[in-house]
Amino acid sequence: MPDAYELSPEEERWCADVRALAAGRLRPLAEAGTPGEANRPLVAELGEQGLLERVFPVDGPAVRAFDLCLLRESLARVSTEAETALALQGLGACPVAQAGTKEQQARWLPEVRAGRAVAAFALSEPDAGSDAAALALTAAEAPDGWRLTGTKTWISNAPAADFYTVFARTTEGAGSRGVTAFLVPADRPGLTGEPLAMLSPHPIGTLRFEGVPVGPDDVLGETDRGFAVAMSTLNLFRPSVGAFAVGMAQAALDASLTWAQEREAFGGRLRDLQSVGHTLAEMATRLEASRLLVYAAACAYDRGAPDVAKRSAMAKLFATETAQWVVDAAVQLHGARALQQGHPLEHLYREVRAPRIYEGATEVQRGIIARELYR
Known catalytic residues are 359
Q: How far apart are the first and last CA of the chain?
A: 28
Task: Please provide the size of the chain in residues.
Answer: 375
Interhelix angle 9-21/65-78, rounded to 10 degrees, is 40
The answer to whether residues 165 and 121 touch, using CB atoms and an 8 Å cutoff, is: yes
The DSSP secondary structure of 118-153, one letter per residue, reads: -EEEE--BTTBSS-GGG---EEEEETTEEEEEEEEE
The DSSP secondary structure of 28-60, one letter per residue, reads: HHHHHSPTTS--HHHHHHHHHTTHHHHHS-SSS
Q: Is the dihedral of CA 297, 322, 276, 250 positive or negative?
A: positive
Long-range contacts of 271-279 (CB under 8 A, 24+ apart): 276/333, 279/329, 279/332, 279/333
Question: SS3 for 195?
Answer: strand
The answer to whether residues 102 and 111 touch, using CB atoms and an 8 Å cutoff, is: no
